[in-house]
Amino acid sequence: MGTVADPFPKPCYLFALVAGDFDVLRDTFTTRSGREVALELYVDRGNLDRAPWAMTSLKNSMKWDEERFGLEYDLDIYMIVAVDFFNMGAMENKG
């Protein structure tokens, strides 16, 4: 059994543990202050060909947030899990 320490306080409903057979697309986003953010997009194995569009959309939305609201992403990594059979509807993403 292991222990995980998260330095960022958050409501317990924002915690997720995802286990499965995934492919991952990795990229980076450079904030307007020059800080590099690692991006990881996990998809069901065999669906990696669908990931580049989502990665481009993520990078465009991060840039839009900076330009529109002056908000720069404040963590060093941004991870998304995109799977076919998640039927919980809306999600909050942070980290």
**Where does the pLDDT of residue 11 fall: very low under 50, low under 70, confident under 90, or very high at 90 and above?**
confident
pLDDT, tens digit, 9 for 90 and up, residues 26-81: 999 999 999 999 999 999 999 999 999 999 999 999 999 999 999 999 999 999 98
CATH of residue 25: 3.30.2010.30
- Whole-model pTM: value is 0.81
H runs (alpha helix) in the chain:
51-69
> Is 65 inside any structural domain?
yes
Which two structure tokens, joined as six digits, stand for 62?
Answer: 């991060």
Strand partners, 71: none
So what's the pLDDT on residue 62?
A: 95
> Is 5 inside any structural domain?
no
Number of domains in the chain: 1
> Is 90 inside any structural domain?
no
> Is 9 inside any structural domain?
no
What range defines the domain where residue 70 resides?
Answer: 21-82
| Cα–Cα nearest to 95, from 2, 34, 7, 20 | 7
> Is 7 inside any structural domain?
no
